[in-house]
Structure 1
Amino acid sequence: MKVASIQLAVVENDKEKTLEKAAIAVESCSDADLIILPEIWNIGFMSFDRYVGEAEELDGPTVTLMSGLAKKKGAYIHTGSFVENRNGRYYNTSLLLSPEGAIVAEYRKIHLFGYNSRETQLLTPGTEVAVAKTVFGNLGLATCFDLRFPELFRAMVDKGADMFLVCSAWPFPRLEAWSMLNRVRALENQCYLISANSAGLNGGSQFVGHSMVVDPWGTVLAGAGDQEMIVRTEIDTQAVAEARDTFPGLAGRRDFLNKCAC
């Protein structure tokens, strides 16, 4: 399976140009089976004053563009996330699109970020875990701050996930935390993890970049620096089952802890 993670910088205050830029990047992933973009890349995560005015429904310009590209390229596309207007409430929403351009998974960010951020003031947290069955395995969706909550990733494993797709707008200076959490979430769940983080500046904040592809042993197979780039690599989808058979770490779980009010 060939994957491509697009580490993108927003064109400040110009959504149309950012959409064009993203489309060119997706088009350049000529042989990818799966393409993933960052969190709120179309306007920039830190553009809080634009959240409501630039919010979209699921048939809005961002999803329409990515759906057409998925169909054109015959690839799965994780849209990254965007601000969704859903019945008058606003969510940080990401979608997984099939090679036919159809929505196969919807995820609304559960853990909103409130540190030097207005996300918790403007958006509604999601309540549903999202795992999609595909020809390449079961793909679970998460967004940025979610990485700090291992219970979400275990919930995805319990729904059959063998690969995590994480879109993000992780800022400086927390590079070490970003790198560590990408690897640990893959390692402890014996899953692949593919992340697409933002690059560049938005609203005066610098994003940390360092998008990566991590294998079920916690090894980084491919990764970026802090500049715009596309991380490309090929993964063996059988490696998850092999890792779990070789070292049955997940088999040692104690189910009563899932219900423990400790």
Structure 2
Amino acid sequence: MRIGLAQMDIIFEDKHLNMLKVEKLLKDANKDSIDLLIFPEMTLTGFSMNLKDMLEGPLLDSSSVSWFSTKALEYNINLAFGYIEYHGDKGLNNLVIISKYGTILSKYSKIHPFSYGKESMYYKGGDEFILTRLEDLIIGSTICYDLRFPELYQILSKKANIILVIANWPQKRKDAWITLLKARAIENQCYIAGVNKVGMFGNTYYSGDSMIIDPLGNIITSLSDIEGVIYTDINIDEVDNLRKRFNVKEDRKNLLYIKGLNSNITIKDEREDSHDIS
């Protein structure tokens, strides 16, 4: 399957202008016969904390989701994108996957709101692990700050052969973005597709650095500093063959890790009295 990343200079809180940008990128993707096109986090709004004006209803009541559904049909392409919905007194930061027939396949709500950027003050964390089957692909869904939490990727990669990361990740933390994307691919022996915003947001610059990484941690294709679409053909046999040949998961000690998380760990201190073994 041909996977494409649509790196976008998202105009902050202007859904109409962002729809025009999405349309242009869809036309580019269509020329390249891309099967699944993935857009950055909060695709039509940017990283907005404006719950009053930007939030929409649940999937079936969302004008943004409805619009993307019509575009999936029009361009005969599967789409993954971000949208924000109201949920009680806070919002949910979502990744939605829609089939080329315009049907909603899945919705993932970001488990780890970005507390450093005050996202957790406005958005609730999700509590579900979401996998989506699209033809032969089994796709794991994650969003931005999730990338710093490897346990999530270990859970998804029990079945996923590709994991998506849609983001608004600033250039000043570019090295962390690239390093973590590669690490998640290597640790989980699967493809990682990370698509990021590009351009300015206030005084902060986003360099994009969207990329697709293979199960060995090699960057297959990437794009920095400009809007555009990049793509590659995914071979899931590479995932299956690597996992059979070098089965890292078989050596994991999950029950021991859980025990460690739930217990106190003893610190061996050199200042403590020790037995003289001379």
Task: Give the structure 2 partner of residue 15 of structure 1.
Answer: 15
Task: Verify: 1:156 aligned to 2:156, yes or no.
Answer: yes
RMSD: 1.6
| Deviation at residue 84 of structure 1 after TM alignment | 0.8
Indicate if the aligned counterparts of 1:166 and 1:195 stay in contact, CA closer than 8 A.
yes
Q: Give TM-score scaled by structure 1 length.
A: 0.93
Task: Give the structure 2 partner of residue 139 of structure 1.
Answer: 139
Q: Distance in 2 between matches of 1:154 and 1:234?
A: 24
Task: Verify: 1:90 aligned to 2:85, yes or no.
Answer: no
Structure possessing the higher radius of gyration over alpha carbons: 2
Indicate if the aligned counterparts of 1:10 and 1:44 stay in contact, CA closer than 8 A.
yes
- Unpaired runs of 5+ residues, structure 2, are 262-278
Q: Distance in 1 between matches of 2:219 and 2:241?
A: 17
Task: Verify: 1:176 aligned to 2:175, yes or no.
Answer: yes
Superposed CA deviations along residues 63-91 of structure 1, whole A, max 9, x for unmatched, are 11211122223322111x12111355411
Indicate if the aligned counterparts of 1:192 and 1:214 stay in contact, CA closer than 8 A.
yes
| Deviation at residue 258 of structure 1 after TM alignment | 4.5
| Deviation at residue 201 of structure 1 after TM alignment | 1.1
After TM superposition, the runs of 4+ consecutive aligned structure 1 residues lying more than 4 A away are none
Task: Give the structure 2 partner of residue 33 of structure 1.
Answer: 35
> Which segment is superposed worse, 70-79 or 207-216?
70-79
Q: Distance in 2 between matches of 1:101 and 1:257?
A: 44
| Deviation at residue 12 of structure 1 after TM alignment | 3.8
Q: 1:67 aligns with which of 66, 69, 73?
A: 69
Indicate if the aligned counterparts of 1:174 and 1:208 stay in contact, CA closer than 8 A.
no
Secondary structure of the 1:209 match is strand
Q: Distance in 1 between matches of 2:236 and 2:71?
A: 24
| Deviation at residue 33 of structure 1 after TM alignment | 0.8
Secondary structure of the 2:208 match is coil
| Deviation at residue 237 of structure 1 after TM alignment | 2.0
Change (3 A) 1:162 1:13: closer
- Unpaired runs of 5+ residues, structure 1, are none
Task: Give the structure 2 partner of residue 252 of structure 1.
Answer: 251
Q: Distance in 2 between matches of 1:133 and 1:235?
A: 14
Give percent identity, aligned residues only: 30
Superposed CA deviations along residues 86-132 of structure 1, whole A, max 9, x for unmatched, are 355411011111121111111000111122x2311111111111111
Task: Give the structure 2 partner of residue 208 of structure 1.
Answer: 207
Task: Give the structure 2 partner of residue 44 of structure 1.
Answer: 46
Indicate if the aligned counterparts of 1:9 and 1:41 stay in contact, CA closer than 8 A.
no
| Deviation at residue 13 of structure 1 after TM alignment | 4.5
Task: Verify: 1:185 aligned to 2:187, yes or no.
Answer: no
Q: Give TM-score scaled by structure 2 length.
A: 0.87
Q: Distance in 1 between matches of 2:65 and 2:145?
A: 23
Change (3 A) 1:112 1:12: closer
Q: Distance in 2 between matches of 1:249 and 1:221?
A: 22
Q: Distance in 1 between matches of 2:228 and 2:21?
A: 12
Superposed CA deviations along residues 133-165 of structure 1, whole A, max 9, x for unmatched, are 22132100000000000000111123x111101
> Which segment is superposed worse, 177-186 or 252-261?
252-261
Task: Give the structure 2 partner of residue 103 of structure 1.
Answer: 104
Secondary structure of the 2:229 match is strand
Indicate if the aligned counterparts of 1:27 and 1:69 stay in contact, CA closer than 8 A.
no
